[in-house]
Amino acid sequence: MKNLSWFVLGIVGGFVVAHFMNKDPRGNELLASIDARISGFTDAITDAYHAEVAREQK
């Protein structure tokens, strides 16, 4: 139970820090950059998955 409490506290703390970072212009730019990288990665994974599914259906 103690480990779960630390885990939840860490998640809440991360959201609080991200919220304050987003208010700062430099932090907002950093979070936007991270979001763009994550979006690029997920788009590449999605494209690869759809290509694999299309290849298997032939």
Task: Decide if pLDDT at 58 tops 80.
Answer: no
Q: Percent of the chain beyond pLDDT 70?
A: 100
Q: Percent of the chain beyond pLDDT 90?
A: 91
Range of the domain at 25: 2-57
Number of domains into which the chain is organized = 1
- 11 neighbors 5 (Cβ within 8 angstroms): no
Tens digits of per-residue pLDDT, 27-40?
999 999 999 999 99
Retrieve residue 39's tokens.
Answer: 């979006």
Q: What pLDDT is stored for residue 1 in this prediction?
A: 85
Q: What pLDDT is stored for residue 34 in this prediction?
A: 94
